[in-house]
Every structure is written in structure tokens, then in C-alpha cells.
Chain A
Amino acid sequence: MTTQTVKSTLSATKIVSLAFAAILGVAIISVTGHVQAGALHDAAHDVRHATGFPCH
């Protein structure tokens, strides 16, 4: 066990970490770019237009 390979393999911890990061990313983009709730829409309005999200 004195050498560690640089290329790592997919373990359960890594799968959970990757899935969590991906879900977090999608959730953030959904909130800032897509959710149509009034206050959120108003606050993010200019960003949605400028970032090319479907707005209104």
C-alpha cells in the first residue's frame, strides 16, 4: 500500500458526492432561472433575461 494510483475509481462515496453536487447544481439553476414564484421571478428578472432563461 505504499503507492497510490492517480487514476481513481468510482466508489459509493464518490457516486453519492457526484450525485449530490449535480442535484445541488440543478436545484440552484432551477431556483434562480426557472421557478415562477412571484418574488423570485421579480428578483431574478433581469438575470433571467440576460442569461437566456425562458422568462415570463
Chain B
Amino acid sequence: MLTRLLVSGLFAGAGAGLIAALLQLFFVQPVLLHAELYESGALVHFGAEAVSAHQDLGGFEPVRDGLSIVFTMLTYTGYAFILLVGMALAEMRGANVNGRNGLLWGLAGFVAFHFAPGFTLAPEVPGVAAADVALRQVWWWATVVTAGAGLWLIAFGRNWLAWGAAAVLLLAPHVVGAPEPDTFTGPVPTEIGALFASRALGVGMAAWLLLGCFAGFFWQREGARDGARQPA
């Protein structure tokens, strides 16, 4: 069981994480670097002169981007372990888990870990004003846990009581609200901030769909291998 969880998680997480990292480097990193020019003051939005929307953002930075690849692969491996725990519990309840329905698991994971927190705490472009980071992290975890529990109840609940509770769990963090800054001080043009948020969510969705698919595939394959190894 543990071997099956760890092997499936490592393969699925590393694979999906590597693809996520490459997508981020290509689609998100240029937007981030562009925003950092405003964050650092190298460019000034609404200054005396209009600023070109096209800037030299530099190319691939081996250390910085290499670390990003490593940390993205690690992050998705962490996601994979949590997703696989859910898959294992569902399988014990009689659900069939494979690469194809793993896509649904991945979509649910994306909603729980990216979309639900991002719905109120949008992915932060560098330079945005934000409340205390520890408070936001508490809210982030609370939202991930309640959204995950809500989605589980939608998928496996059998009556309206469960589905009603799911709706409450999904809505509550956003009705309560996330920690917000006292004042807005972001120096980054809104066009860059909006593109950053949609790119971050889009790449997250693509990577999570792959993660769910890979996790379901490896979970099933490792399970079949375990079954073949055990004497009947």
C-alpha cells in the first residue's frame, strides 16, 4: 500500500510537475519578469512618459529557472500524494480509479488547490499589495481543506444533506473573505496583473489534469502489479 502510494505519487508528481514547470517558464515567467520591472521601479506606470508594453525580459536563467523546475516538480509530487490518498480511500469504497477518470480527480484537485483559493486570493503578480502572509496562508489552507471536503461530498455523498453541506463548505471561505490589505499600492499595470492571474490558473489547470490522469494511471498499474505478485 505504502509502496504503491509512494511510487505512483513520485512518477505522477514528477511527470506532471516537469510539464507544469515548462508551461510556467514559457507562459507565466515572462509575465512575472515584466511585472518585476515595475515592482523594482525600473519601469513606472503612469509616469511622465508612456512606457512600451514590449520589454526585453532576458532569456533562460539556469539557476533561477532550474530551481523553479525543481520546486514545481516537488510541489506537484506533494499534490500527488494527497490526491492518491483520496483515490485510495475512494477505491476502498468500491470506486474504480484509472487514468481516464483520473482527469476528473485532477480537475477536482485543481479546484481545491488552485481555483478555490484563487477565487478570492487571486494569484499574486509581483508587487501587489497584500495582507500579512501568515494570515493569508491560514486562509489558503482552510480554503483548500473545505473545498476538498466539499468536492468529496459532491462526488461521494448520497443525499441532499451531504450536497448541501458541500455547497456550504465551498462557499464559506469566500463569504467569510480572505485577509485583505488596508490600501492598494501595486505599481504593476492591471493588464499584466490580469494576464498573470489567468496564465497561472490556466497552467495550473493543465498541470492538474495531467497529474490526475498520471496518478490514476500509475495507481491502477501499481495495483495490478501488486495483485499479480500476491499468491492467490
Which residues on A are within 8 Å of B, measured CB to CB?
A: 2, 4, 7-10, 13-14, 16-18, 20-22, 24-29, 31-34, 36, 43-44, 46-47, 49-56
The residue in A8, A24, A36, A51 that gathers the most chain B C-beta atoms within 10 A of its C-beta is A51
Known: A13-B1, A21-B9, A26-B78. A51 touches B72 (CB 8 A): yes
Known: A7-B94, A21-B5, A50-B28. A32 touches B201 (CB 8 A): no
Known A17-B5, A25-B80, A49-B28; 11 more pairs at CB < 8 Å: A14-B92, A22-B81, A24-B81, A29-B78, A31-B74, A36-B133, A49-B123, A49-B200, A50-B72, A52-B124, A56-B124
Chain A binding surface SS class: helix
- Within the complex, which residue of B91, B125, B134 is in contact with A49, where a contact is CB–CB below 8 Å? B125
- List chain B residues, Cβ under 8 A from A33: 75
Inter-chain contact B64/A46, CB cutoff 8 Å = yes
- List chain B residues, Cβ under 8 A from A13: 1-2
Stretch in B82-90, B97-105, B166-174 with 4+ CB within 8 Å of A: B82-90
Inter-chain contact A54/B82, CB cutoff 8 Å = no
Hey, what's the 0/1 contact readout for B202-228 against A, CB within 8 Å counting as 1?
A: 011000000000000000000000000
Indicate if B51 sits at the interface (CB-CB under 8 A).
Answer: no
Inter-chain contact B75/A29, CB cutoff 8 Å = yes
- List chain A residues, Cβ under 8 A from B123: 49-52
- List chain A residues, Cβ under 8 A from B117: 52
User: Can you spell out 21 A-B residue pairs with CB atoms less than 8 angstroms apart?
Assistant: A7-B92, A18-B88, A18-B89, A21-B2, A21-B6, A21-B88, A25-B81, A25-B82, A26-B82, A28-B81, A29-B82, A44-B67, A46-B24, A49-B126, A50-B28, A50-B29, A50-B123, A52-B114, A52-B118, A52-B204, A55-B133
- List chain A residues, Cβ under 8 A from B78: 24-29, 32
Q: How far is the CA of A32 from the CA of B68 in the complex (A)?
A: 10
- List chain A residues, Cβ under 8 A from B75: 28-29, 32-33, 47, 51
**Nearest 9 CB-CB pairs, A to B?**
A28-B78, A25-B81, A54-B136, A25-B82, A17-B2, A29-B78, A52-B123, A17-B1, A50-B28
Q: How far is the CA of A50 from the CA of B25 in the complex (A)?
A: 9
Indicate if B146 sits at the interface (CB-CB under 8 A).
Answer: no
- List chain A residues, Cβ under 8 A from B85: 18, 21-22, 25
- List chain A residues, Cβ under 8 A from B200: 49-52
Known: A29-B78, A32-B71, A54-B133. A20 touches B28 (CB 8 A): no
Inter-chain contact A25/B92, CB cutoff 8 Å = no
- List chain A residues, Cβ under 8 A from B43: none
Indicate if B32 sits at the interface (CB-CB under 8 A).
Answer: yes
